[in-house]
Structure 1
Amino acid sequence: MALTGGLLIPAASAQASVPSYEFASPAFGLATAPDGSLLVADAGAGIVELRNGVGTLAAPLPGVTDVAPIGRGDMFAVTGGGEDASARKLFRVSGGATREIADLGAFEAAVNPDGEEIDSNPYDVAALGGGKALVADAGANALLVVDQQGNVDWVATLPDELASTANAKQLAGCPAAPPEFAFVCTLPEMIPAQGVATSVAVGPDGAYYVSELKGFPGPIGASKVWRVEPGTRHAECGTSPACTVVADGFTSIVDLAFAPNGTLYVVEIDEASFLAVELGSGTSGTVNACSPGSWTCTPVATGLSMPMAATVGKDGTVYALTQGLLPGAAKVIALS
């Protein structure tokens, strides 16, 4: 990831869009509806619509992790892992009513595209033409495609890669880590880390752009944005020519969002990695803007608390969902 000089917008200068709305939390996804309202995937309650400074629960769907508008009042939504009967599913939401389209957890159990431990945690969804949906399954390390009949196939898998344990050791306080983290201090310098697919966005070129978090040990600067050729099926990123890296050097990416002008916004939950957030010390999330073609990326907001997602409003305003993991504290802010 090439960083250029540019205006940094500190979190303190951003304005809360809906200061009076209290999300049930955790909140993970953010999208712009065709009418300009904002949609928030509030896993504690469901899909929340923010319109003209007022928030309303548009569709009850506990466990929802992301939403992708299709038309006015019509959208795809995915639920993450859990024990509830609605977990690991793709839904179609119309007029506030939800209809199950596909059981993504069952697909992972039956197919397991990456060949590793069976684990499904659908995290992000994007609408595709022809009534199809793309789903980034963070547990499966895979990008999936679902048609309107509910048939599921896998598009690509993200590879395991060797990653430095230096950041994990520092965060754990090695060599004097507390007993529960003492094992971190005994790790070798490099260990395999899973890709962890956290977001998918369809680019202006029609390609599928997929972000990776990079799992434990939470390395710094090791997350990538992958480009997958349109129509691809069964590509193993890292070896397949249909899946290539267009931007890297990020830390713990959790969301991607394209603007109408083609700019790609990349959200990093924390510059010290997701592991810092889990350990309670994360305070430095970033939203970056990347120019297609050159893929030069510039931070547009730094020092954010747990940014989980970004979207671009119809008027060009860039919004971010912050403090998404804090009970009752999630909020949507305007960055520009």
Structure 2
Amino acid sequence: MIIGTALSTGLSLAVLPALPAAGQDSPWRVVASGLDSPRGLAFAPNGTLYVAEAGVGGAGPCVPHPLGQICYGATGAVTEVKRGDQTRVLTGLPSFELQGTPEVFGPSDVALNGSGNLFVTLGLGADPAVRAALPAEGQTAATLVRAKPAQGTFRLVADLGGFELSDNPDGGLPDSNPQGLLTTAAGQVVADAGGNSLLRVSSAGRISTLAVFPPRLVPNPFGGPDIPMQAVPTTVTRGPDGELHVGQLTGFPFPVGGANIFRVEPGEPPEVVAGGFTNIIDIAFGPDGSLYVLEIAHNGLLSGDPTGALIRVDQNGSRTLIAGEGLTMPTGLAIRDGEAYVSNCGVCADTGEVIAIPLPGQTS
């Protein structure tokens, strides 16, 4: 049912209207504009920025989704920003529009490994079995791919949706929506928001489960007994201690202050290391060890308020709001050269942006 399952199956923004991006009045520097649902960000060592664009979906085929149906189109992309020039270097990636909403599932995150290879997670947000009704290009949804921007091509690295169908780490209804992505010397780590799991993909493409994030009981906004809320992990990074850190969006009812950051040590249950956040969409560590937390909706996804937030958590635990007003459903975060790069208006077609926000006290 909706309360127990449908609204908690990933990045579902059906309750929110289509929104304009920050625009010319934004107090921050615009790095890229005219983007279709910009999501995750990654920098190459030479300063080139890569942006995952979830796209705008398309005319179909349309397939079932817990909230209705999603319609496929090959409109997902990866944009490269190099020396001020903005170019879509990868196009034709699978994209799915959740009908009747501004939400789109598609390319979710980008990351580069030590060899400079670019990897992309391709979201879905539904039962991976629905891919059978899609054309071949659409069937690459719910996977991890390796891209060759210079050639505009990509190849499959791991079928994360297939792993959800065969192994289903959290034991719930089959659902895969690969989101956050981290490259390591041993391969890639992926946060599957739909599967409530953290997955490792070896350099040979073998998938294994690093952690499962179980549901927890929260107050029912309609009254009555508490209801289960799914975790919905959306982002993964490595902390100064070398351990993996994961941020959660939370599922329905998306409670204000209900999102946690977990430390994950393989073989151990996830440990909450910071809480009290709302609808976390991305996290990143600064060079001084401070943690930056990006909230897609600071007042909660059910509030109707599209204002996000960027929050710094110092090593002593103190918190500072770095940016709020002007962030419109932000969806991606990267830290470089004393600035926070943020994908702004991540549910906007053709008007999404990447903006650079100066960080007090950060110079490199």
TM-score, reference length from structure 1: 0.81
1:297–1:12 distance in 2 versus 1, CA, 3 Å: same
1:246–1:295: 8 Å Cα contact kept in structure 2? no
Q: How many residues align?
A: 288
Equivalent residue, structure 1, for 2:66: none
Q: In structure 1, the residue corresponding to 2:241 is in which secondary structure? A: coil
Q: 1:31 aligns with which of 42, 54, 64?
A: 42
Matched, 1:91 2:145: yes
Any stretches of 5+ residues in structure 2 without a counterpart?
A: 1-24, 56-75, 95-105, 132-137, 359-364
- Any residues of structure 2 matched to 1:253-332 within 5 Å, and which? 253-276=280-303, 281-292=304-315, 294-303=316-325, 304-313=327-336, 315-332=337-354
1:115–1:73 distance in 2 versus 1, CA, 3 Å: same
CA positional deviation for 1:199? 0.4
CA distance in 2, matches of 1:154, 1:120: 14
Equivalent residue, structure 1, for 2:84: 53
Q: CA RMSD in A?
A: 1.8
- Any residues of structure 2 matched to 1:1-336 within 5 Å, and which? 12-18=26-32, 21-23=33-35, 25-44=36-55, 45-60=76-91, 61-62=93-94, 63-71=106-114, 73-81=116-124, 83=131, 84-94=138-148, 95=150, 96-130=152-186, 132-166=187-221, 185=222, 187-188=223-224, 190-229=226-265, 232-233=266-267, 235=268, 240=269, 243-276=270-303, 281-292=304-315, 294-303=316-325, 304-313=327-336, 315-336=337-358
Q: In structure 2, the residue corresponding to 1:318 is in which secondary structure? A: strand
CA distance in 1, matches of 2:80, 2:262: 30
TM-score, reference length from structure 2: 0.75
Letter of the 2:238 counterpart:
V
Show CA shifts across 1:68-111 (max 9, x none). Answer: 11247522111001642110111112344312111000101111
Show CA shifts across 1:207-253 (max 9, x none). Answer: 00001111001111010000012xx14x4xxxx3xx21111000000
CA distance in 1, matches of 2:290, 2:81: 24
1:88–1:104: 8 Å Cα contact kept in structure 2? yes
CA positional deviation for 1:295? 3.1
CA positional deviation for 1:316? 2.1
Equivalent residue, structure 2, for 1:181: none
CA positional deviation for 1:189? 5.7
Equivalent residue, structure 2, for 1:175: none
CA distance in 2, matches of 1:218, 1:56: 35
1:89–1:102: 8 Å Cα contact kept in structure 2? yes
1:34–1:72: 8 Å Cα contact kept in structure 2? no
Q: In structure 1, the residue corresponding to 2:34 is in which secondary structure? A: coil
CA positional deviation for 1:297? 2.5
Letter of the 1:220 counterpart:
V
Show CA shifts across 1:281-334 (max 9, x none). Answer: 223200111223x33322111121101111112x22111111010111210111
2:114–2:185: 8 Å Cα contact kept in structure 1? no
CA positional deviation for 1:66? 0.5
Higher fraction of helix: 1
CA distance in 2, matches of 1:129, 1:204: 16
CA distance in 2, matches of 1:58, 1:33: 14
Q: In structure 1, the residue corresponding to 2:165 is in which secondary structure? A: helix
CA distance in 2, matches of 1:33, 1:206: 21
CA distance in 2, matches of 1:287, 1:43: 21
1:331–1:189 distance in 2 versus 1, CA, 3 Å: farther
2:53–2:78: 8 Å Cα contact kept in structure 1? yes
2:38–2:332: 8 Å Cα contact kept in structure 1? no
1:163–1:192: 8 Å Cα contact kept in structure 2? yes
Identity %: 37
Equivalent residue, structure 2, for 1:170: none
